[in-house]
Amino acid sequence: MMEGIFPPVLQVSSLGLILDLIGTYVFGLSGAVVAVRRRLDLFGIMVLAVAAALAGGMIRDMALGSTPPAALRDSRYLVAAMLAGATGFFFHHGIERVSKPVMVLDALGLGLFAITGAGKALLYGLSPIPAVMLGVLTATGGGAVRDLLVAEIPRVLREEVYAMAALVGAAIYVAGGEWGWPGFETALIGIAATVILRIVSVWRGWSAPRAPGSDSA
Amino acid sequence: MMEGIFPPVLQVSSLGLILDLIGTYVFGLSGAVVAVRRRLDLFGIMVLAVAAALAGGMIRDMALGSTPPAALRDSRYLVAAMLAGATGFFFHHGIERVSKPVMVLDALGLGLFAITGAGKALLYGLSPIPAVMLGVLTATGGGAVRDLLVAEIPRVLREEVYAMAALVGAAIYVAGGEWGWPGFETALIGIAATVILRIVSVWRGWSAPRAPGSDSA
Amino acid sequence: MMEGIFPPVLQVSSLGLILDLIGTYVFGLSGAVVAVRRRLDLFGIMVLAVAAALAGGMIRDMALGSTPPAALRDSRYLVAAMLAGATGFFFHHGIERVSKPVMVLDALGLGLFAITGAGKALLYGLSPIPAVMLGVLTATGGGAVRDLLVAEIPRVLREEVYAMAALVGAAIYVAGGEWGWPGFETALIGIAATVILRIVSVWRGWSAPRAPGSDSA
């Protein structure tokens, strides 16, 4: 079923693989930064980096019946996640200097995984709407596991434009595929849409409406 | 593998599908009401409604190897979950007027998913005891994910007769199948047993025994 | 697909099955003890015992595409988990007399599941590094679900040498398989390595380094 440590991953296009590995690294870095802030030790940092990096893709692959998941079949995912943990361990001061580093890393991972999740779902024959939904689940899953492990309410619930940003990116990518747009450019536009929407929403403090009358509840 | 947005779902009987969609809507509504109480915004309400509505069935399908899960293969599940989110957003005042709305919705979803989970497990060749167990897991999974996402200890642990109510309903349905009872009537009896057992246990404050001497621990 | 209540489980060697059932019982006991301490009632104790006992193996099997998971296909897993719950309910005073009972049970379960997880991954054709990783996931999954359900930060993050202990045990077992060591002895050595490493690390208060400068962050 597999040979060597770096087996060919046939089910995913090489573009999908590259975006997936970048997303893995970026989400891993967000997990490492959260772990450093929580004063976890080196092992705790590695665990949270790996969990944040791999959980979204593993949920995606298990839902698609693509088992074992790419994260287990292809060691590059684990290497990317552990590199992210090590980067967070050694360079967290540099990362912290960026304003709101977890938010920015998270936004980038969100965009990357929304596109790779939706793309892999299309490859497995899902129709457009469920493919967009699996993109959102892939994108929000890793961050949700990260936040749950440190007993925080996940960002996907707390923050206004989060699942929505992933949804827009995945929808652009899926719609582009339907309309025959070139894959690489569409992927970049989808990722950019998610990242920009997410960062601008935090920067401008956008908020969605509350349920009518819920403030007085 | 699938065509159109509303593909035929062959693995599930039409009775199972109808009960499953009602359970999806009802659990989605419980998620929406929890989200409104937590003052989440429209997006947060939608996320919690979708998570509560779809998590139990997705766990069930992934455990059975029925991938992609029905919730991703058949868009009606997502539509039911989002309708539940929208209902909660606009009509939460009306819902709140019912006494203990989350508990009642939860009890109904519990009964519906216990039966559909156990029934699908039997269709996939599981023997009776594991089928009952998967029914319980399906029924309690969505509510557990809902409660974990808002950082609450899940109802399945906090409340006395919860998993037990799902177990009784699933066991009635599975036993009925073994003994050749008619499927529709047995399903209704199983659902009613779960709902009544659950609601009466809350109303009468039934509690199971604590471990001997644990109060002084 | 399966016959009778105790179907033959072909995918797992009988050694793997025995270790898996012992691990199931031991993790179940850790769940029951946590539940008794939280003053949960009999049902809550059973739920937490079953969740702690079966979650790790179910995640392993779902990741390997070995569905339905052994925990659902073979009723002995459920029986072991419920026996653990009953043991915790009736004998928790005896168990509590052991110093740090949850930690010791957890260490033993960690070692057992690290080996069975890695071994089953090899049987399913995973290469060594991902097999070790799945061993760690199997070993840490049940305890993480147990701790999340009672709203605690999982041991795998809080405690210094935890995932690392599982990693060492799984790596010994996988390396032994690569080098042609006899399976039973290698499994015992791997389990012992995990348990000793974990218990000694707690006893001596070993800690891994924090990120440089994170104390002043």
Reported as a single tens digit per residue, the pLDDT across B68-109 is 999 988 889 999 999 999 999 998 887 777 767 788 888 999
- CB of B151 within 8 Å of any CB in chain C? yes
In eight-state DSSP terms, residue C209 is P
B60 is a domain residue? yes
pLDDT of amino acid C26? 94
Give contacts of A160 with chain B, Cβ < 8 Å: 41, 43-44
The least confident of B119-123, C28-32, C92-96 is C92-96
Among the partner residues A130, A152, A160, nearest to B41 by beta-carbon distance: A160
Neighbours of chain C (3+ CB pairs under 8 A): A, B
User: Residue B31 and residue B25: Cα distance in Å, rounded?
Assistant: 10
CA distance, residue B132 to nearest chain A CA (Å): 22
Q: Cβ B62–A64 below 8 Å, yes or no?
A: no
Give the Cα-Cα-Cα angle B175, B30, A52 (nearest 5 degrees). Answer: 95
Give contacts of C210 with chain A, Cβ < 8 Å: 39-42
The least confident of B22-26, B168-172, B208-212 is B208-212
Q: Which of A59, A26, A24, B146 is nearest to C137 (CA)?
A: A59
For the packed helices C101-123 and C163-178, what is the interaxial angle rounded to 10 degrees? 40
Give contacts of B207 with chain C, Cβ < 8 Å: 41
- Confidence class of residue B112 from pLDDT cuts 50, 70 and 90? very high
pLDDT of amino acid A147? 92
Give contacts of C152 with chain A, Cβ < 8 Å: 151
Chain-wide mean pLDDT for chain A?
86
B189 or C211, which is more confident?
Answer: B189
Please report, rounded to a whole number, the percentage of residues in chain C having pLDDT higher than 70: 91
Give contacts of B67 with chain A, Cβ < 8 Å: 62-65
pLDDT of amino acid A7? 37
pLDDT digit string, tens, across residues C98-110: 767 788 888 999 9
- CB of A196 within 8 Å of any CB in chain C? no
- CB of A148 within 8 Å of any CB in chain B? yes
> Is this prediction's pTM over 0.90?
no
B65 is a domain residue? yes
- Confidence class of residue A215 from pLDDT cuts 50, 70 and 90? low
| pLDDT beyond 60 at B9 | no
Give contacts of A85 with chain C, Cβ < 8 Å: none
Chain-wide mean pLDDT for chain C?
86
Give contacts of A153 with chain B, Cβ < 8 Å: 149-151
Q: Please count the other Cβ atoms lying within 10 Å of the Cβ belonging to residue B1.
A: 9
pLDDT of amino acid C99? 66
pLDDT of amino acid C210? 80
Highest mean pLDDT among B36-45, B200-209, C5-14: B36-45
Give contacts of C161 with chain A, Cβ < 8 Å: 43
Assign residue A180 a region: left if phi > 0, alpha if psi is -120 to 50, beta otherwise?
left
pLDDT of amino acid C177? 87
pLDDT of amino acid B214? 62
Give φ, ψ of C210 to 5 degrees: -80, 160
Q: Cβ A126–B39 below 8 Å, yes or no?
A: no
Among the partner residues C62, C127, C207, nearest to A4 by beta-carbon distance: C127
| pLDDT beyond 70 at C61 | yes
- CB of B7 within 8 Å of any CB in chain A? yes
The least confident of A38-47, A113-122, A201-210, C60-69 is A201-210
- Confidence class of residue A13 from pLDDT cuts 50, 70 and 90? low
A141 is a domain residue? yes
pLDDT of amino acid B216? 43
pLDDT of amino acid B88? 93
Give contacts of A96 with chain C, Cβ < 8 Å: 217
| pLDDT beyond 50 at B6 | no
Cα pseudo-dihedral A15, C130, A87, C107, rounded to 10: 150
B 96-135: CB under 8 A from A: 96
pLDDT of amino acid A197? 95
DSSP B99-160: SSHHHHHHHHHHHHHHHHHHHHHHHTT--HHHHHHHHHHHHHHHHHHHHHHTT---HHHHSS
Q: Cβ B215–C67 below 8 Å, yes or no?
A: no
A2 is a domain residue? no
The stretch A11-36 carries a mean pLDDT of 87
User: Residue A48 and residue C202: Cα distance in Å, rounded?
Assistant: 21
C125 is a domain residue? yes
pLDDT of amino acid C158? 80
User: What's the total number of domains in chain A?
Assistant: 1
Give φ, ψ of B41 to 5 degrees: -85, -175
The stretch C17-40 carries a mean pLDDT of 92
Q: Cβ A78–C130 below 8 Å, yes or no?
A: yes
C 55-94: CB under 8 A from A: 62-65
Asked if the peptide bond before residue A68 counts as cis, ω within 30 degrees of 0, the response is yes
Q: Cβ C90–B153 below 8 Å, yes or no?
A: no
pLDDT digit string, tens, across residues C142-170: 999 999 998 888 888 887 789 999 999 99
**CA distance from start to end of chain B:** 57
CA distance, residue C2 to nearest chain B CA (Å): 6
Q: Cβ A125–B92 below 8 Å, yes or no?
A: no
Residue of A nearest to B153 (CA): A151
pLDDT of amino acid C13? 65
Among the partner residues A2, A58, A93, nearest to C126 by beta-carbon distance: A2
| pLDDT beyond 80 at A217 | no
Among the partner residues A63, A124, A210, nearest to B39 by beta-carbon distance: A210
- CB of A4 within 8 Å of any CB in chain B? no
Q: Are B50 and B28 in contact (CB under 8 A)?
A: yes
Domain that holds residue C20: 8-203
pLDDT of amino acid B5? 36
Highest mean pLDDT among A118-122, B2-6, C10-14: A118-122
pLDDT digit string, tens, across residues B15-64: 788 889 999 999 999 999 999 988 888 888 999 999 999 999 999 999 99
| pLDDT beyond 80 at C37 | yes
- Confidence class of residue A204 from pLDDT cuts 50, 70 and 90? confident
C213 is a domain residue? no
Q: Cβ C126–A68 below 8 Å, yes or no?
A: yes
Q: Which of A164, A163, A156, A166 is nearest to A191 (CA)?
A: A166
Q: Cβ C73–B161 below 8 Å, yes or no?
A: no
Q: Cβ C45–B211 below 8 Å, yes or no?
A: yes
User: Residue C214 and residue A191: Cα distance in Å, rounded?
Assistant: 32
Q: Which of C200, C22, C180 is nearest to C111 (CA)?
A: C22
A41 is a domain residue? yes
pLDDT digit string, tens, across residues A135-191: 999 999 999 999 999 888 888 888 778 999 999 999 999 999 888 888 889 999 999
B216 is a domain residue? no
pLDDT of amino acid C206? 82
